Structure 1
Amino acid sequence: MEAVTIRNPGMTWDIAAHIHVPPGFDATRRYPAIVSNHPIGSSKEQTAGNVYGAALAEAGFVVIVPDASFQGGSGGSPRWLEDAEQRVRDYRDVIDHLQRLPYVDPERIGILGICGGGGYSIKTAIIDKRIKALASITGVNFGRLFREGFSGFNPVGTLEAMAAQRTAENAGAEPRVDIFLPESVAAGQAAGISDIDVLEATDYYRRRQPNANAGTRMLFSHAATNLAWDAFAFAETLLTQPMMVVIGDKPGGFGAYRDGMEIHGRAASKDKHLVVAEGWSHYDLYDQPEPVGFALSKVVPFFKDKL
């Protein structure tokens, strides 16, 4: 694995990324490549890198795993922005970098994302036809989630609160940084949380895969654009690439099951596949060997065929 930084013309900060290469890597060859994108609040060291990135590299692909701008090892200020449109710009900048690497075939580039990274990857594929194949692992449309659960089903009230907070910060108040998760599963349960996604996210980020670069937080005053964003807009006409959607059938509050069904139905692609991991949840598909192995048994042949 190689750590790299990416700064394309017009950028004012670096994107930090890891590049995973296949066994027996030969820099004189040209390989198919995949951009592997981490969930909301995650980092390149977690599921997008150490699980899916590593497995796809083992299967013969060059895999690049970026940190989101404003988060992890990437630059950008203010910190802890969760900016859906910037995520799409990040992925396109990463593709620019891949196409300049002498060992990457610029005509054989795919994209994969997990959770919010899946929704962001879908949006990127809608607008960037350099992407030849797309896989979404328990993907979530962050705009839909923010308008619903993340705003308490009160998006207008949330926008008003963001406006008030930004006004206060402009007058010198401390920034408001929202923490997505409780400190532990027990603390969440004690607070009355019962949703499987929230509790399993807490177990993943606090216990199974803790990492200092994973933010699990968001600067509240700068998140308003996400409420008017939609990962699936124009999918009926513009999402034409081969696509695989992997979801678990134990639905939780983040809505990956629902979003997976929706984008599979809406996408214009003539070559689309819905894979349901029966008996498994959203966070099982992050790192649990059996459901991850099942997902990879579908995703790896898909990418080999399409790239």
Structure 2
Amino acid sequence: MITTKDVSFKARDLGGLEIQGRLFFPENFDESQKHPAIVVNHPTTSDFNQTSGKIYATKLAQRGWLALAYDSPYQGRSEGEPHNSEIPYARTIGVMAAIDFLDTLSYVDPERIGAMGICGGGGYTLNAAKFDKRIKAVAGICPADVGTIYRETFGQNDQALIKSLEDMAKQRTAEAQGEPIKYIPALPASQEEREKAGINDIDIKQAIDYYLTPRGHDEFAPNQYVYSSVSMMINFDPAILAEKLATQPLEIIVGDVPGAFGSYRFGYEYYDKAAADDKELVVLPGVSHYDLYDQPEATDTAVAKLNDFFGNRL
């Protein structure tokens, strides 16, 4: 039987914002010994009560790993205002802050720390690994490039994209002058609303089924973004300099069912670009992006791959 412990730690590069997390301990864990540890980073608009903690950190602990899942800065129960901002820099710093915390624990071997993330959390974790070489092995589960996703969402062409950025800039000015924070939904509020909008993409359909139903809904992960923070996602590219800096052992796991969140496409692109000599791209047939969030067959297969990957490198 695994055990858990709720923890908090500071993100020193973000002015000391307090981060809420949970350690997942394997059965018969011996605190007198040094152990490897894995940081688990949640998707966008998510928290650690969902796939990162409930599925991946739990399943890794069941296989003997010490795992740390946490709520990213500005999200979940972690500090950061305006809350529910999606800030790539802060999401990347969250990975580093989690490692800072692990470095303070007497039972963690600092030379055997790995990191992984799901969806957008995968992209942010790959980004962190490029320059934080305390990460000795890194993995992405259906990793998403949120920059490309939001560039395509908010701009059918360059002119439209710039217009969107100008509107976000005006909104930020209004908020600086005292206007209320503007939030936008991350997803249509229901399948009916999605259908009325003419959206038929499988990732959007399955995201609604995951995030907005009892299957995956959590009170600390509302279906919204701070509108002006989207501009920072538009400017983000986790693959920049990967051909020079992405040197650690790399594992990418995707399903072969393509959708709007682009993990199938991004998985191939990042794998091809990464400088690592030790890298593997696993493509699961008939598996969608959200199958890799919580569906038993897909997640069991992914965790088995992660267990082998981290086991051979940490």
Which secondary structure state, in structure 2, belongs to the residue aligned with residue 7 of structure 1?
strand
Within the candidate set 181, 191, 194, 1:175 is matched to: 181
Matched, 1:261 2:265: no
**Distance apart, 1:89 and its partner CA:** 1.0
| Aligned residue number for residue 131 of structure 1 | 135
CA distance in 2, matches of 1:193, 1:206: 16
Structure 2 spans left out of the alignment, 5+ residues: none
| Aligned residue number for residue 34 of structure 1 | 38
Which secondary structure state, in structure 2, belongs to the residue aligned with residue 148 of structure 1?
helix
**Root-mean-square deviation (Å):** 1.3
Matched, 1:210 2:213: no
CA distance in 1, matches of 2:72, 2:190: 25
Matched, 1:291 2:295: no
Indicate if the aligned counterparts of 1:149 and 1:253 stay in contact, CA closer than 8 A.
no
Which secondary structure state, in structure 1, belongs to the residue aligned with residue 125 of structure 2?
helix
Within the candidate set 201, 216, 233, 1:195 is matched to: 201
Task: Using the aligned pairs only, state the percent identity.
Answer: 41
**Residue-by-residue CA offset, 1:104-140 (whole Å, 9 max, x unaligned):** 1110000010000000000001011110111100001
Structure 1 spans left out of the alignment, 5+ residues: none
**Distance apart, 1:158 and its partner CA:** 1.4
Matched, 1:273 2:280: yes
Which secondary structure state, in structure 2, belongs to the residue aligned with residue 257 of structure 1?
helix
TM-score by length of 1: 0.96
Indicate if the aligned counterparts of 1:71 and 1:215 stay in contact, CA closer than 8 A.
no
CA distance in 2, matches of 1:61, 1:213: 26
**Residue-by-residue CA offset, 1:242-281 (whole Å, 9 max, x unaligned):** 1110011110011111100000100000010010010010
| Aligned residue number for residue 148 of structure 2 | 144
**Could you tell me which amino acid in structure 2 is paired with residue 66 of structure 1?**
Y
Deviating runs (4+, > 6 A) in structure 1? none
CA distance in 1, matches of 2:91, 2:61: 23
**Could you tell me which amino acid in structure 2 is paired with residue 304 of structure 1?**
G
Matched, 1:306 2:313: yes
**Residue-by-residue CA offset, 1:125-170 (whole Å, 9 max, x unaligned):** 1011110111100001111212112555532121111011112223
Distance 1:191 1:223, change over 3 A: closer
**Distance apart, 1:191 and its partner CA:** 2.7
| Aligned residue number for residue 125 of structure 2 | 121
